[in-house]
Amino acid sequence: MRVIRLLTTAVLGGGVLLLPGAAVAAAEPSHVGIVIGSQYACVRWHSGITGDDVLNQAAAVTYRSDGIVLTINGEPNPPHADDTHFWSYWHDTGGRWHYSGVGASAYQPKAGTVEGWSYDNGHADAPQPAAKPATLYAGICGARDKPEPKPTRSHTHHPVAPTTHVTPANPPRTSAPAPTTTTHAPVTATTATSRTTRPAKSAPGHSTGKSRPAPATRRHSTAAARPAPSTETTHPALRPAAQSLRPLPRPTDAAASDGGSPVRLLIGVGAAVVIGAGGVWTAIRRRRAD
Amino acid sequence: MTGLARTPRALHPIAWWLWALGLVAAASRITNPVLLAMLLAVLGFVIAQRRTDAPWARAFKYYLAMALVVIAIRVVFRSVFTTAAAPHEHVLFSLPLVHSPHWYAGVRLGGPVSIEGVLSATCDGLQLGTILCCIGAANVLANPKRALRVLPGALYELGVAVVVALSVAPQLVESAQRVRRARRLRAGHRRGLRGLRSIAVPVLEDALDRSLQLAAGMDSRGYGRTGAIGRAARRRTATLLLLGMLGLCVGTFGLLDAAAPWWLGLPTVVVGAALCVTGLLAGGRRIRRTVYRPDPWRAPEWVVAAGGVACAAVLLSDVGFGSADLVLSVAPLRWPTVPVVPAAAILLAGLAALAAPVPTPARAQIGRVDELHREPVAA
C-alpha cells in the first residue's frame, strides 16, 4: 500500500514540485479546501459532506428562489444571475480546474480536494477560479492536517482561521496559472449551481470531478504549516482572504432576524383584503342587478 | 372633467392595455406575496367596477382559475423534480427518491420537500399567475374589436381573424344557452347523447348563420377589397416583410449569443425592424379605412394609462426601496416586508377604477346579436 502511494507521489508530484524524498509520512487529509474567486478557506471534511455544505461553511451564500446560487459573501452586488452571470462550480482534478457536471448539493468532495467557485460576469465561458489547484490543498488546508492527525472537535466547523492559512497576494510565480483552456458553456449553470439534489445520497459515481487526494500536496503541507508569509512563494496566487470569509450565520440566527415591521405587513395584507373584498362585493351586486 | 368621466362610455382600449401592461412590468419584478395579493386585489376591484356586460367581460374568474392552476403546477414540479434541500432548510416531508444515472446527473425525482422550496414555488407561481391576470384584465376591460383598430393596416385582416376566433367561444356558449332555454320552454328535456345532438345542431346552425351575416355585413361595407395596388407592389411588400422577419430572428440570436460577431446583434435587429416597419407601411397602404365612431382619448384615458405606466416606472426604478423588498426571502426564512413606495404605486394604479368612465349599460346597447356585427365593420 505504502509503495503504491509513494509511486503515485512520484508520478503525480514529480512534475509539479521538487519534493524532498518520500520519507516523511504525511497526515491523512481531513479537510476540503475551497476557493471562491481569489479567496479561499478550509472546511473540515466528514463523510457525506456535499459541495453545498462546504460552500455554506466557508461563506455566506444566498440562493435564488429556484435554488441557483445568487451571491457568495455578498457578491455580486446587486444580486444577479442569468445565463452569462452566475457562480460557476469547479473541482480540483489534480492540476487543473474541472467544471462540475453536477450541482453542488449532488457532489460529495473527497477529503484532500479543493472546490472552486468563480463568478462569470458576462462571458460565454465561465472563468476558472483564480488559483491552480495542483498545490492548492496543501496551501489551504495543509496546516490543519499536519499538526494533529486527529484534529480536535472545536476546530472543526469553523471556516478559515484567519492568520495561519493566509498567504500573500502575489501574482502566480512560474506556472502560468493560465487558463487550461477547458471551455465550458454556461448552459450548465443550472445544473452546476443549483441545489437540485439531495446531499446525502446523491449521484452514485460521477466520474467528473473525482480527484485523488493528491499526494504531492500532502507533502507540501510541511511548508504550509509555517505561518510566515514570505516562505509561501511556492503557492499560486491567493489573496488574503480572512477578512472577507466569515462564518456563516447559523440558520436559527438568521430566522430570528426580523422581517421588517409587522405593522406594515398587517397594513399591506389589510389593504389587499379590503380592496379584494370591495371587488367581490361589487361583482356580487352587479350580478344581482342583472 | 368629472362630467366627462360620468358620461357612460367605453374607455379607449389602448388606455386599458397600457394600464395592464404597466402592471405586468411591475409584477415581473415582484415575488413578494403581499404585494402580489395587493396587485390582484386592485385588478379585481377595477374589473368589478368598470367591466362591460359583453361576453368577454365576464371571463376574469377563468383567469383567476388559471392562476391557481399555474401555482399548483409550479409547486408540484418543484416538489417532484428540483427539490432544494440545503442543510439549513426545513423539511416538510419526503417523497420517494429515484436516482438518475450518472450520465444524466443533476436530475432526479422525489426526495425531501422543504418549506422554503414550496414557498418560493408558490410565490413564483403567484407572480406568473398575476401576470396572466393582468393580461386577462386587459382582455376583460378593453373591447377587442375596438382594439383591432390600432393594428397596422397590413395586419388588419390577421387581426380580424384573431378577434373572430376569440369571440367564437363566448358566442357558442351564448348560443348553447339560448337553445337550451328554448328547449326547456317547450318542455323537451332530453339528456345524454341524444340531448347533445338536439342541442349541437341548432347551435352550429346558429353560429353559421351569424358568421354569414357578419360576412355579408363586412362585404357590404367594403371589406376585403385590395385597393388599387398591383402584383409587383404586393411582391415587394412580401419581400420586405420576409427579409425584416429574417433580420429580427438572426439579430435576436446575435444579441443572445455572446460569441456571435457584433454586427449580428443590434445592427441586424435594427435593420430587420426597419424592414418590417417599411413592409407594414407599404402593405397598409392598400387598405383604406375610414373611421365611423372614433374612440376619443380624453382625460380619463390619460389618468388610467399614466397609472399603469407610473406603477411600472416606480417598480423598475428602485427609488425609495430596495429590490430585495420585492422578493420573498426564503434564505433565511422570514415574514415578507411591505415596502411603502411599491405598495403606494400599486394602489395608485387602482385609481383607474374611479378615473375610468362607467361603461355603457347593457340595456342602452342595441342588442347582443348586433354587437358582433357592428363593431369591426364600424372601424
Percent of the residues in chain B that have a pLDDT greater than 70, as a whole number = 80
* C-alpha cell at position B356: 375610468
- Residue A200 pLDDT > 50, yes or no? no
Chain B nearest-CA distance from A1, in A, is 30
Phi, psi of B177 (to 5 degrees): -65, -40
When pLDDT is cut at 50, 70 and 90, the band that residue B4 belongs to is very low
Q: Cis (ω within 30 of 0) for the bond into A78?
A: yes
pLDDT value at position A65? Answer: 65
B106–A101 CB contact, under 8 Å: yes
Cell 471556516 locates to: A159
Rounded Cα distance between A51 and A41, Å, is 13
ipTM for the assembly:
0.71
Nearest CA to A127 among A167, A177, A88, A81? A88
pLDDT value at position A33? Answer: 83
Phi, psi of B68 (to 5 degrees): -60, -40
* Residue A84 at interface with chain B, using a CB cutoff of 8 Å: yes
- Residue B197 pLDDT > 90, yes or no? no
DSSP state of A68: B
pLDDT value at position B228? Answer: 61
Cα angle for residues A85, A162, A246 (degrees, 5° grid): 45
Q: Per-residue pLDDT tens for A215-247?
A: 333 333 333 333 333 333 333 334 443 333 433
Rounded Cα distance between B137 and B133, Å, is 6
Beta bridge partners of B91: B114
B83–A276 CB contact, under 8 Å: no
* C-alpha cell at position A124: 460565454
When pLDDT is cut at 50, 70 and 90, the band that residue A180 belongs to is very low
B102–A280 CB contact, under 8 Å: no
Phi, psi of B3 (to 5 degrees): -60, -40
Q: Which positions in chain B touch A260 (Cβ < 8 Å)?
A: 325, 335-338
> Helices B13-27 and B340-349: crossing angle, nearest 10°?
160
* Residue B206 at interface with chain A, using a CB cutoff of 8 Å: no
Q: Which positions in chain A touch B106 (Cβ < 8 Å)?
A: 101-103, 106, 190-191, 194, 196-197
Rounded Cα distance between B81 and B72, Å, is 14
A124–B258 CB contact, under 8 Å: yes
Q: Per-residue pLDDT tens for A107-124?
A: 888 888 888 888 888 777
Chain A nearest-CA distance from B331, in A, is 7
Q: Per-residue pLDDT tens for A8-61?
A: 433 343 333 333 333 344 567 788 888 887 777 888 888 878 888 888 888 888
Strand order in the sheet with A114-121: A39-44, A31-36, A114-121, A85-92, A97-99
